[in-house]
Amino acid sequence: NAGVTQTPKFQVLKTGQSMTLQCAQDMNHNSMYWYRQDPGMGLRLIYYSASEGTTDKGEVPNGYNVSRLNKREFSLRLESAAPSQTSVYFCASSGDDWTQYFGPGTRLTVL
């Protein structure tokens, strides 16, 4: 089992560019999540998906969109990147016991 995988690991964007962060899990979990973590801060929930076909906003959804493509995959899209979106992005998934398993993260810099 690979657990939760994320691509890319690193990305540099210019202001206004768009990109999609990919996340996949092989644990057959229903729920998936996207968080961002700024330096010296805790994680803040951007969006989550309780099951395939459903998504809902978290604490900081502005500037992001998500797609729950199937049970395995949950992508995060930045339509027009801004410097304030420079952060480390973590994807997570959870099963029936709600324990969240995290991916290795994507370090995004927006210039």
Partner 1 sequence: LAKTTQPISMDSYEGQEVNITCSHNNIATNDYITWYQQFPSQGPRFIIQGYKTKVTNEVASLFIPADRKSSTLSLPRVSLSDTAVYYCLVGDMGSRSGATNKLIFGTGTLLAVQP
Note whether 86 binds partner 1 by CB under 8 A: no
Note whether 111 binds partner 1 by CB under 8 A: no
Cβ distance to partner 1 smaller for residue 18 or 99: 99
Note whether 54 binds partner 1 by CB under 8 A: yes
**Options 13-21, 46-54, 75-83: segment touching partner 1 (CB under 8 A):** 46-54
Note whether 102 binds partner 1 by CB under 8 A: yes
Burial of 80 (0-12, 13-18, 19+ CB in 10 A): exposed
Note whether 20 binds partner 1 by CB under 8 A: no
Q: How many alpha carbons lie under 13 Å from residue 29 in its C-beta half-sphere?
A: 28
**Options 10-18, 19-27, 75-83, 94-102: segment touching partner 1 (CB under 8 A):** 94-102
DSSP 54-95: --EE-S--TT-EEEE-SSSBEEEEESS--GGG-EEEEEEEE-
